[in-house]
Structure 1
Amino acid sequence: MRTEKSRSYHDGCATAHALDLIGERWALLVVRELLFGPKRFTDLRTDLRTISPNVLTQRLEALEATGIVRRRKLPPPAASWIYELTEWGSELEDTIVTLGKWAARSPFLEQGLPISRAGLLLAMRAMYRPQDDGGFCICLDMPDGTAVVSGTAEGFDIQFGDEALKSAQAMFSGTSSVLDSILFGGVSVEAALKAGDARITGDMSAMAKLLRAFPMPPAATGLAP
């Protein structure tokens, strides 16, 4: 396995060292996928659709070697190996959210591409803007997992588990890519419902509040796609 030192920028700036640690292709996306909990190798391959097994293995080994990720074996009956972020690795969440918020202003950002559940939830965290409408609490029922998202004047929150479901006012059922296209890609919720790509049950007014709470920022000026 290659060492981080052999790929170093050899620059005293801490930002350069950060790129030594997470600047390789796919590395930061592996971290993104682990921000909401541990995953097996096969789960990561599913979420990172176009990564090869060899590259994923290399990135996980490098992230483990630098203390960002750890690997552990689940007790029986599962007895499978999982990967999870260390406490230090988890601190990258704010960096990823800020980076996403910055990149959302790029005129070169292509809409309509597939997105994982973790990618969508972090995009929602980045783009959330409180509204003067009392807030919302919505269950997002997606094929790769369920999450309950809530927005108030204080901020945006993401929760998991049966206890969180009790507070949900409505449920959105569909893929993360479909919801991403509705929130950020200009697809109307009516069109998604009519096509059978999404289903909404419960308080429709609460769902409408969610749909208004994630405005895209203006594109950076002076650039042309």
Structure 2
Amino acid sequence: MSGKRSYDDPCGVARALDLIGERWALLVVRELVFGPKRFTDLHHGLPTASQNVLSHRLRELLTAGIVRRTSPGSFEYELTERGRGLEPVLIHLARWGSGLPMPAKLVELSIDALMFALKTTFDPAADPELRVRVDLRFGSDRFHAEVADGCLYLARGDGLRPAAVITTEPPTLRSVIFGSRDPADARASGELVVEGDVVAADRFVGVFRPGHWIGKPAAAMPK
């Protein structure tokens, strides 16, 4: 990637960081894990990144073969096969980072960051027999989730014959899954609406580990 500084180190870690070590690069990858996004949607998910910086980072990722346009001249981007290979790296990095103090100035998780939090905190042992399909709807943003054989599958868009459709806002879902808020309370307030099998929806939100301090200030973390 011409013009970029290099570690000039043959180690695989250094060579990887030559491509994805710049600020925002891995967060762009995170925002694309669940499917393609237009530039405006990427910027919405990364609001503290300037448009110029985001454009520059996308150009670097395109050159590196990590991201591609969905069609020639399009402003919609998706991960290449090489880019998708970074997902397990991001999952391990997120789990490692979950025990670190929160920044002093907290902002709400982007929708894709929240979905990624589901991937990193999924606990198949919490309900080993669970097999369920659930759609998650946040306004115009939709995801389908499937739990089967001890694995969680998540992707952008509507799913096929979900047992339940959960319609809510990201802060509400975060409070139910990671803040120990009773789903029944969120339903009673109208902040969380379930169409279909309510029991299946409750079992779904119960298969994630809430003990990762997501959204909690640093002062609340154990020493």
Query: Which range, TM-score by smaller chain?
Result: 0.7 to 0.9
Structure 1 position 72, deviation (Å): 5.1
TM-score between the two structures when normalised by the length of structure 2 = 0.82
SS of 1:147's partner is strand
Work out whether 1:140 is the aligned partner of 2:136. Answer: yes
Aligned residues of 1:117 and 1:144 also touching (Cα < 8 A): no
Change (3 A) 1:113 1:186: farther
CA distance in 1, matches of 2:106, 2:194: 21
- Give the aligned partner of residue 30 of structure 2: 32
Change (3 A) 1:202 1:185: same
CA distance in 1, matches of 2:198, 2:97: 31
Matches within 5 A, 1:44-193: 44-71=42-69, 73=71, 80-106=74-100, 108-109=101-102, 113-130=107-124, 131-159=127-155, 161=157, 164-166=159-161, 168-193=162-187
Corresponding pairs, count? 213
CA distance in 2, matches of 1:88, 1:59: 17
Change (3 A) 1:200 1:86: same
Deviation larger for 33-42 or 86-95: 33-42
Aligned residues of 2:34 and 2:155 also touching (Cα < 8 A): no
After superposition, the CA RMSD in angstroms is 2.7
- Give the aligned partner of residue 217 of structure 2: none
CA distance in 1, matches of 2:154, 2:108: 21
CA displacement 1:72-106 (0-9 Å, x = unmatched): 546xxxx7432222211111111111111222233
Structure 2: stretches of 5+ with no match in the other structure: 214-220
SS of 1:70's partner is strand
Aligned residues of 1:104 and 1:217 also touching (Cα < 8 A): no
SS of 1:172's partner is strand
CA distance in 2, matches of 1:20, 1:109: 27
Deviation larger for 150-159 or 13-22: 150-159
Change (3 A) 1:201 1:195: same
Structure 1 position 137, deviation (Å): 1.9
Amino acid aligned to 1:38: P
Structure 1: stretches of 5+ with no match in the other structure: none
- Give the aligned partner of residue 20 of structure 1: 18
Percent identical across equivalent pairs? 36
CA distance in 1, matches of 2:114, 2:77: 21
CA distance in 2, matches of 1:149, 1:127: 14
TM-score between the two structures when normalised by the length of structure 1 = 0.81
Deviation larger for 79-88 or 17-26: 79-88
Aligned residues of 2:34 and 2:154 also touching (Cα < 8 A): no
CA distance in 1, matches of 2:173, 2:137: 11
